[in-house]
Amino acid sequence: MMRHEMKRVNTGMALVASALLCALTSQAQAAIALDRTRIIFAGGDKSLSLSVNNDNPQLPYLAQGWIEDAQGNKVTSPLTVLPPVQRIEPGAKSQIKVQALPMVSQLPQDRETLYYFNLREIPPKSDKANTLQIALQTRIKLFYRPKALVKTTAEMATPWQEQLTLTRQGDKYLVSNPTPYYVTLVDAGSQKGASVSGFEPLMLEPKGSAPLGVSASSLGNTPVLTYVNDYGGRPLLTFRCGGTDCQLVAEKKG
């Protein structure tokens, strides 16, 4: 689950002796952990709380949070992170908030807006010589979902991802997203169950379309796409194609 939805970035915190580099790098593990792999910020909400754990039982860590826009630029409005930096004691839990500012009302209200939430752990300064310190950074998608697009539990029973359409153009399949939501595809394969080598995760913007990055012949006439839902689950969409047109195969209930 974490492979496509979460990105870990290693940043050197100190210059170290090269003899220790390989051994210490292989032992590096994240201390600060989030309770989710994506964030859905519902329009109308003033804030959203996230749980943060320090999984290191011996050392306190600083947790630094911020938000970037879709282009990767750091922003402080219309969504901001509170507190931007906090200390979390060994083995302790804490919370961090994504806060909506008044400017949030100026975001598009007919489609989702994409941001990225970043959380970087900052280890305590070591008092030992020739010590490598590595800061791990988590970067996950944050979707601002306008109030008019927030679905009830009953409405969620029919996922909007099932509205995706697939058409064949030469030796490529074009996938189209007619919905006002972002849709992330993380795998593609055939009905026989085998994933296609070389497929790269694809995020479709609202009302957008893009070709799948693998050949149509490798997927065959019954391509299966895997998407990520709001809860980090990975449901499947199975299509049956004839000529250039494809139809979604309804999932059998019970």
Assess whether 11 and 137 both reside in one domain: yes
The single-letter code of the amino acid at 237 is L
- Enumerate residues 6+ apart whose C-beta is below 8 A from 54: 31, 32, 60, 61, 63, 88, 89, 90, 91, 92, 93, 94
> What is d(CA 246, CA 131) in angstroms, rounded to the nearest whole number?
57
Concatenating the DSSP letter of every residue in 72-89 gives S-EE-SSEEEESSEEEE-
| Within a domain: 253 | no
pLDDT tens profile 90-102: 999 999 999 999 9
Which range marks the domain in which residue 178 is found?
A: 155-248
In the structure, what pLDDT confidence band is assigned to residue 252 with cuts at 50, 70 and 90? low
In the structure, what pLDDT confidence band is assigned to residue 13 with cuts at 50, 70 and 90? very low
In the structure, what pLDDT confidence band is assigned to residue 29 with cuts at 50, 70 and 90? confident
The predicted model gives 172-188 an average pLDDT of 97
Assess whether 16 and 121 both reside in one domain: yes
Assess whether 67 and 137 both reside in one domain: yes
Assess whether 143 and 163 both reside in one domain: no
Assess whether 28 and 140 both reside in one domain: yes
Concatenating the DSSP letter of every residue in 154-204 gives TGGGS-GGGG-EEEEETTEEEEE--SSS-EEEEEEEETTSPBPTT---EEE
The predicted model gives 191-216 an average pLDDT of 91
> What is d(CA 165, CA 248) in angstroms, rounded to the nearest whole number?
8
Domain end marker among 106, 130, 149: 149
In the structure, what pLDDT confidence band is assigned to residue 11 with cuts at 50, 70 and 90? very low
* pLDDT score at 6: 46
Are residues 100 and 41 in contact, defined by beta-carbon separation less than 8 angstroms?
A: yes
- CATH number, residue 200: 2.60.40.10
- For residue 242, is pLDDT > 60? yes
| Within a domain: 205 | yes
* pLDDT score at 14: 38
Backbone angles phi, psi at 126, to 5 degrees: -80, 145
- For residue 28, is pLDDT > 80? no
Separation of first and last alpha carbons in the chain: 26
Domain end marker among 149, 164, 199: 149
- Enumerate residues 6+ apart whose C-beta is below 8 A from 132: 12, 14, 16, 20, 21, 24, 25
| Within a domain: 109 | yes
| Within a domain: 170 | yes
Are residues 179 and 227 in contact, defined by beta-carbon separation less than 8 angstroms?
A: no
Are residues 239 and 247 in contact, defined by beta-carbon separation less than 8 angstroms?
A: yes
DSSP summary character for residue 109: S
Assess whether 162 and 98 both reside in one domain: no
Assess whether 96 and 41 both reside in one domain: yes
- For residue 80, is pLDDT > 80? yes
| Within a domain: 254 | no
Assess whether 129 and 160 both reside in one domain: no
Assess whether 128 and 84 both reside in one domain: yes
Domain end marker among 149, 183, 199: 149
> Which two structure tokens, joined as six digits, stand for 183?
């849709």
* pLDDT score at 191: 79
Assess whether 107 and 174 both reside in one domain: no
| Within a domain: 114 | yes
Q: In the predicted model, what is the mean pLDDT of the chain?
A: 87
Assess whether 237 and 163 both reside in one domain: yes
> Which two structure tokens, joined as six digits, stand for 13?
């915190």
Assess whether 104 and 6 both reside in one domain: yes
Percent with pLDDT over 90 in the chain: 76
Q: Domain tally for the chain?
A: 2
| Within a domain: 184 | yes
Determine which helix (DSSP H) or strand (DSSP E) holds 1, and give its type and residue range. Answer: none
